[in-house]
Each structure stands twice: as structure tokens, then as C-alpha cells.
Structure 1
Amino acid sequence: MEESRTAHIAMIPSVGMGHIIPFIELSKRILELENSKFSVTLIIPCNAPLTQSQKLFLSTLPDRISHIALPPVNLDDLDEEFVGAEARVCETITRSITKVQEAVSTLVKTKRLVAFVTDVFGTDAFDIAEEFNVSKYVFFTSAALSFSVMLHLAELDKNIPCEFKDWPEPIKLPGCIPLKGEDLLAPVQDKKKDDYKWFIFHGSRYKLADGVIINTFQDLEPGPIGALVENGNPKIYPIGPLTQMQSILGNKSGEESECKKFLNDQPNDSVLYVSFGSGGTLSSKQFQELAIGLEQSGQRFIWVVRMPNDKAANAAYFNSETEDSLGFLPDGFLARTKARGLVIRDWAPQAEILSHGSTGGYLTHCGWNSILEAVTCGIPLIVWPLYAEQRTNAVLLTEELKVALRPKESEDGVIGRDEIANVVKSLMDGEEGKEFSKRMKELMVGGQKALSPDGSSTKSLAELASIWTSMMLSS
């Protein structure tokens, strides 16, 4: 395709595959639109060199999607007591702004740049879009409900003088299910931390964007989407569900074939998939309780285990494992559950597992990418939120959509083995689980309709494409 006839989009995701993958899926969708005349460059801020797996994945992108991995920034000066995971991501982007500007400056010399799409933590880059006179957008890779929280956070900060978890009243946002203060995003639960200040900063700047693209769809979040659209500032474009339904790593064929063989031998809808995402970790005690609870349930399962960590629920994002996580399982667990369970260390082909006919439930940490994959496959859930916006997502799934069960914690914050066993049996073998499965399959159909040629998400993305094409023609 001739460069003179191609509208180019610069995208700035935040570090981590959980954000990069939705940006890539958005790029692919833009390129697949009818009469699409676009190309995309991903400009990736980093705080460490890309891993071999990330490099491998990025090397497989279509020709019209290129990427630039910026030089890693140094975060050694940050105080871990006050700077959490989200603040580190924000600092990574902010400290990379000069390099982002240089990359964009190079792009505009050879391409017709029409739009600038930043991550939720990338509003610092708005100034670069204005410098080059292109429209600026935010791509919010999670739920419209979480975006509403971010959008209203500065207002909540003024009206709620205490920590949110101590606020006795329900927090009501336009079009949204009422939330307890403790169920707001984890990074805003301590007002003394830098994470909180960063969230106030970025949430306050969303209205400066020409639009916000959200990875959700009408049937999934009609209330939050309706209120955001009605407000009109910023303009909202729901374009989901965008999911990565193929394996992104090419060096895991052993685990893939092992999972497929196990699933092929099980009855339909009989297997519970258990995974806490790419970053989620459990404490040592909770790890043991989960193992025994799964065993007590008597249900079939595939469990992706990761070495326990007693300090952080998202420790796997920042630490490569040096010990064998299987060694932390209860004595004899693997032998006792061999006939009906498969334990995989560190990674499993999640999309293939969820889409297999033998899978009937998913115990999840409530990461939005994982939720959308479950919706795409019509799989009901057990929700076990750990960090980020996952508690907010859990409320949406259990109280609003009613497609998930949530096990109760004991007074010491641990979910006990008996509770786990009962919840697993309820989802996999109870009437409640059957109702959840029915509703989840209705959402699956809703997602399919949204992405159909005349669907709401396709029309929303086509509207954006039309705006960007007109910018190219007028430039």
C-alpha cells in the first residue's frame, strides 16, 4: 500500500503484555475494517529489555503493524514503600516521553500521522500529539465501570475525606452498580502512595482527549456505557470484546499438547480451569488451601501454579521464578489428583483451554483480558480478585451480570479449603452454575453480535476510522 494513501496511527501502550496485547488486537481490527487504509506503529516504553517471548510475539505482527521498543528507563530511585506497580508503569511512560517525542518526530517525516492513541497511564503524551497537530485518544483496556471510577476519581477525592475502604456509604457513579469503597481500584486504596496521585492525575486528563476507546461492548455494560455516552465528554467508543484467542508464545508446545490431551479425555463442561493470570500470586497458606480445596471438591481441573509469595499478590510481574512451584503443593497432592487433575507450572494455553468443549468453569483473578476471553467462550466464573481493578471487575460479574461466584474470606483474609470446595462444586455441579453458564452464553452471543459487520462495536470503530481518514484527506 502506498504511504501517500495510508493514514498512520501511533500507539503508546504501557509496559506489560496485558496492555500490549489489547493494543495489538485493536490495531488488527483497524486494519481489518472494510476499505481500511491504515498502518500502525507501537511505541513501547520499557523499564527493562524486552523478553525473548515478547520479542518473538512482536516479530509475528502483520506488515502494517510495526513497533519501536524504547530504551529502558531506570527506576532504581523509586521508594518501594510509596511506589506501587501502577506508579512504576506511570513513571516508565513519563521518563520515556523524550524518546516518544523523538520516535514520533521520525514517523511524521515519512508517514501521514492522523491519530495518537495512548494507554490509560499515558496522558503525559498528549502534549506530543498537540505538537504534531494530530488527534489524541486514550485506549482504556479494561471495563467501562473502571473507567467511570477513574473519570470521577478527582471528584470522589474531594467528597470523601477518609480512605475509600473506611467510607460507610455506597459509592454511586452514573449508570454504574453501587460500589463499596473497598471495591474501588486497588491502587487508590492508600491516598499516601504515589499510585493514588498518578490515578488522580491521569483521570483528570481524560476529558482532554478527543475520544476514549474502551475494550467493552453494549450487552456487557449497558449502564456504564450509556451514562458515559450521554455525558459526551470525553466521547466514548466501545469496540470490544478484543481478545487474543491464539497462543502468543511459540515455545510452549509441550504444555499445549498436554492440556489438549487431558481435555480430550474429559466429558463436556466438566473441567474447571484455575489461573491467576501472568502476574498473580498467592500466599503460601492460601496456595495450600486452594490445593486442598480443589482436591476436596472432587471436580476435574487444570491448575496453572506459580510459586507462592507472602509479600505481593502481583509478584510474578516483577520476579522470574527460580524455584519449582510444584514443590509447594501438599505432600501427595499430584498423586491423589492425577486421575482428574492436571497441574501446569507457570504457563498454559489459556485461550485453547477456555474454548475447549470439556471446560465448564474458570477460577480467575478477574483481569479484564481473562474476563473477555471467558465471555468470548461462554464460560462461567469463580472470581478471586488480587490487585489492580480486579475487585471492581468482581462486583460487575457477581452483582450486576450474575455470571460468577465469589468465595468468602475468613477473618485472617484467607479463603479456606471448605469454602473453596463448596464454591467449586456449586459452579461445576450445581443449579446456580447452570444458570451462570446460561447467562454467560447469552453474553457470548452479545459479544459476537457486537463484532459482526453491523454490530455496535464494529460501527463504533468504523466511526473512528472515518474520522481519521477524513483527517488524512484534509491534511
Structure 2
Amino acid sequence: MEVTTHIAIVSVPVYSHLRSILEFSKRLVHLHHDTRVTCINPTFGSPCNNTKALFDSLPLTINHMFLPPINLEDLPHDTHPAIQVQITISRALPLIYDALKALHASSRLVAIVSDGLITQVLPFGKELNVLSYTYFPSTAMLLSLCLYSSMLDKTISCEYRDLSEPVQIPGCIPIHGTDLPDPLQDRSGVAYKQFLEGNERFYLADGILVNNFFEMEERTIRALQQEEERGIPCVYAIGPFVQEESCKEGSSDIECLRWLDKQQHSSVLYVSFGSGGTLYHEQINELAWGLELSCQKFLWVLRPPNKFGIIADIGAKNEDPFEFLPNGFLKRTEGHGLVVPYWASQVEILAHGAIGGFLCHCGWNSTLEAVVHGIPLIAWPLFAEQKMNAVLLTNDLRVALRPNVNENGIVEREEICGVIRNLMVGEEGKRIRQRMKILKDVAVDALKDDGSSTVTLTQLALKWKSLSLGDA
């Protein structure tokens, strides 16, 4: 009788994180058919259609459960989405523990893999005598910052943004303090304290699974792996995990693809800010003018402005985003560009031969999707760790251009126009395209049977399987 290896996954109520950890789960059960996964999902409301579609597309060897929604009615109605997520996680911990305990009792768990935003789960593994891992859905560069954040906190006295010299993170290229993640921009704030506390819990992990491949961040991953004797958990580079096909296809997706079919090869700039990112009204206006002035073909997924720069419910469509465009923009760019409201199938769009560039927010899912399709980038970070990702892409890998921001925090139309033309038809764009092509080939190789990521994931899966056999 074949012994099944049972893994529990603990996600967070953030669509981009959920997508990533589910792609990891799908890859795991695809490579190892004797592995079964149960995904535990804390929630603070009914799952949106996009989230439901993710779960509907899963293979039978991945089960899931949505925990009872957490009541957030005591919070102010305009609470930032990131705070809503953190409070949901905190209040859901007893439910998560009970779910893990029940799973372990009914079907012996060999490992718990929790998202990097929910390190509070790591001690549960020790209590249940089960291995605990963190799934880190971003870069090894960010992971290095997290693991060394307490050390930096003790050696740097001022605000990071006020440093005159770049910050030196072990194994990484130097980075200016202003490009560090949002919680580090105010060291007196609650978010900074929570950032440090969460990072300390990483040291409780039996291993950290990074959604990247060794060759893309070789220097950083090597540096982390060499520090294992000093207490840093074993780091496994097992990506890139990206969606291979869309979970949702509607009339707007069909319209996009038909429009792209009529365009020349590599002639269209795709503009999107991820599953929920958006711009201020003034910046939407400048971006529209920059696209128009560049005279380059474009496909723009447009959302209405939001004061937080992110739409909490990606399924909500409460406003007409076209109302925020300059007067006459759609008419003047008709046939030259296509603007799609709210959502489009990014997987199919990036795979289309007409796409020659991607102006994106540098979210890690979107970044990896660009890499596996060989699409050069314009880096336009919005929040979280996206500025760090932009530094990696522009200064280290050199597969992206980053527009300059003026003193008011706005990227002006002339700057946008210049960067777009440089990427799409300029000489620098040609060199970036060549480097991205090389990076794409290496990413493909990493996922082959003998590739670095597949070999690493298989070693981990065999370790888990040996534990199952020991229990049998």
C-alpha cells in the first residue's frame, strides 16, 4: 500500500500571495504524485470570484478549507488593507491551530508550510511535533533583509530614508534607504515593530522556500546558505512559480487577445499594476499623456484611483475608471491603444507575441511572469517591497528601466514618454531585451527535470516522504 505524504499549507487573505503558494502546491503534487496538500485559508469576508476561480482550478490532490470569516466591524471603515490583513491573521490564529491539530490527528502531517506574512504559525509545528517551513513569495534579497533586520536596527541610528550612503544587506547589492519596504520608512511606527518581530520568527523555521531560482539571485542565496551554521534556516530556491493559464476568461480577455492578434510582433507595451495596484488621479493623467506622446502601441489595464494605492477587493467594480482619463484620450488613441477596465488575463497577454514591453509595479508574481516570457520591463513600484524589486531588476539584473519621480512624487509625462520609447525602440531597450531573453532561458532550465529548482524541491519532497514512511 502506497504511503501518502500529507502537507498543510497556511495562506493569507492576499490574492497575490494566495496565487503564489497555490502554484507551489500544484508544482509539488505534479512532481510527486504521492503527496497530498491541504490549504488552510483565513478570511475576513466572502472570497471574491477570482479567489474562487483559483481553488476551482486545483487538482484533486490539493484540498482546501476556508476558515470562518474574521469579524472586522470594530475597525474604522477606511482602515488600510494591509492592517486589515494583519488583524485578520492575528485573530485567526486559534482557528488555524485547531485546523492543523485536527488535520494532524486525522491524517498524519509531516510538514506545515505557512506564508511569509504569517510567521506566527511556525511555533505550531513545534507544538504538534511537525516540521514547519515558511513559503517566501518574494526575492532572496528581501529575505536577506528580513533575516538581518535586527542587526541593521542595532547598527543604524537614524531613519533609513535619511541615510547618505546605501544600506549594505548581506549578499545583496547596496540599496538606498528610500527603496526599503514601507514598514522601514518610519522606525517609530507600529508597522516597523511588527516587521522586526515577524522577522525574528523566521528563525523558528526548519527551512524557507523562496519563489525564485538559484541562478537569478545566486550571490544572495549562496550568502544565506553559507550562514546556516549561525542559525539561519536552510534556504530552498524552488521557483519560479507562475500561473500557466488564467483561471478566468471573459469578454474583456477575448477582446484583448483579438486586438493583440492584429498588432506587429513585440510592438505593444502592456501596462498593469498587478491584481490590485492603482495610481492617484494626477498620476493616471500623466501616464495617459506619456503613453499618448510616446506614439507606441499600448494595452493598459486601468483601475480608478485609491488613496491607499491598492484596491482591497479585486472583485469590486464600483467606479468607471475611464472617467479619470484626460478628455478625449480614448478617442485620440483609438486603434493605437486599448484600455481595459479593472482586470485582464495577464498570463495570456504576456505570452502573446505582440507584447514587447511591460510597465509594471514590480510585484513579484508579475515580475516572474515577465521573466518566464522574456518581456523587458519598465519598473514602476508602488508599495510593500516593490522598490527593492525595482532595484534588483534595474541595478543588478539590468532587465528594466525605472522612470524618475519628481519632488512631488509624480512621474511626469515627458519622463514616461522617454522611458517608453527607450525600452520599445531605443538601443538600451535592445540590450535589455537580450538580457531578459537570457534570463528567460535560465528560468526555463531551472524547472526542467534536472534543473536547479526541480532538484531542490525534489530533495525536500523526498525528505518529507521519508518522514511519512517512518510513521507508517
CA distance in 2, matches of 1:41, 1:145: 29
Asked whether 1:14 is paired with 2:29, we answer: no
CA distance in 2, matches of 1:197, 1:80: 24
Give the AA of the match of 1:165.
Answer: R
Asked whether 1:302 is paired with 2:338, we answer: no
Asked whether 1:238 is paired with 2:237, we answer: yes
Give the AA of the match of 1:269.
Answer: S
| Helix, strand or coil at the partner of 2:215 | coil
CA distance in 1, matches of 2:283, 2:420: 16
Instruction: Trace 1:368-407 onto structure 2 (pairs within 5 A).
Output: 368-407=364-403
Give the AA of the match of 2:303.
Answer: R
Structure 1 residues 435 and 401: CA distance shift in structure 2, 3 A: same
Structure 1 residues 50 and 290: CA distance shift in structure 2, 3 A: same
- 1:312 is matched with 308
CA distance in 2, matches of 1:88, 1:160: 30
CA deviation string 1:421-441 (max 9, x = no partner): 111000000011111111001
Question: Which range moves more in the overlay, 410-419 or 83-92?
Answer: 83-92
| Helix, strand or coil at the partner of 2:86 | helix
Of 207, 214, 219, which residue of structure 1 is paired with 2:210? 214
Q: Is the 8 A contact 1:90 1:198 kept in 2?
A: no
| Helix, strand or coil at the partner of 2:216 | coil
Q: Which runs of 5+ in 2 are unaligned?
A: none
Of 329, 333, 338, which residue of structure 2 is paired with 1:337? 333
Give the AA of the match of 1:400.
Answer: D
CA distance in 1, matches of 2:170, 2:76: 36
Q: Is the 8 A contact 2:403 2:415 kept in 1?
A: yes
Give the AA of the match of 2:241.
Answer: L
| Structure 1 position 217, deviation (Å) | 0.8
CA distance in 1, matches of 2:77, 2:255: 39
Give the AA of the match of 1:263.
Answer: L
TM-score (norm 1): 0.95
- 2:142 is matched with 146
Question: Which range moves more in the overlay, 300-309 or 164-173?
Answer: 164-173
| Structure 1 position 321, deviation (Å) | 3.5
| Structure 1 position 110, deviation (Å) | 2.6
- 2:285 is matched with 288
| Helix, strand or coil at the partner of 1:290 | helix
Percent of aligned positions that are identical = 45
| Helix, strand or coil at the partner of 2:258 | helix
- 2:68 is matched with 71
| Structure 1 position 148, deviation (Å) | 0.8
Question: Which range moves more in the overlay, 326-335 or 369-378?
Answer: 326-335
Structure 1 residues 316 and 100: CA distance shift in structure 2, 3 A: closer
Instruction: Trace 1:46-445 onto structure 2 (pairs within 5 A).
Output: 46-78=43-75, 84-232=80-228, 233-249=232-248, 252-309=249-306, 311-317=307-313, 320-445=316-441
Q: Is the 8 A contact 1:229 1:235 kept in 2?
A: yes
Q: Is the 8 A contact 2:179 2:387 kept in 1?
A: yes
Q: Is the 8 A contact 2:181 2:385 kept in 1?
A: yes
| Structure 1 position 99, deviation (Å) | 0.8
Question: Which range moves more in the overlay, 391-400 or 315-324?
Answer: 315-324
| Helix, strand or coil at the partner of 1:96 | helix
CA deviation string 1:54-105 (max 9, x = no partner): 2233122110101111112123445799x85444323222211111112112
Structure 1 residues 312 and 319: CA distance shift in structure 2, 3 A: farther
Structure 1 residues 156 and 72: CA distance shift in structure 2, 3 A: same
CA distance in 2, matches of 1:315, 1:47: 15
| Structure 1 position 400, deviation (Å) | 0.2
CA deviation string 1:408-452 (max 9, x = no partner): 111211111111011100000001111111100100011011101
CA distance in 1, matches of 2:419, 2:102: 55
- 2:30 is matched with 32
CA distance in 1, matches of 2:272, 2:314: 18
Q: Is the 8 A contact 1:245 1:373 kept in 2?
A: no
CA distance in 1, matches of 2:76, 2:224: 36
CA distance in 2, matches of 1:409, 1:56: 37
CA distance in 1, matches of 2:213, 2:56: 30
Give the AA of the match of 1:430.
Answer: G
CA deviation string 1:240-272 (max 9, x = no partner): 1110121122xx421111111111111100000
CA distance in 1, matches of 2:345, 2:370: 13
| Helix, strand or coil at the partner of 1:113 | coil
CA distance in 2, matches of 1:76, 1:195: 21
CA deviation string 1:175-200 (max 9, x = no partner): 10001111111122122332212211
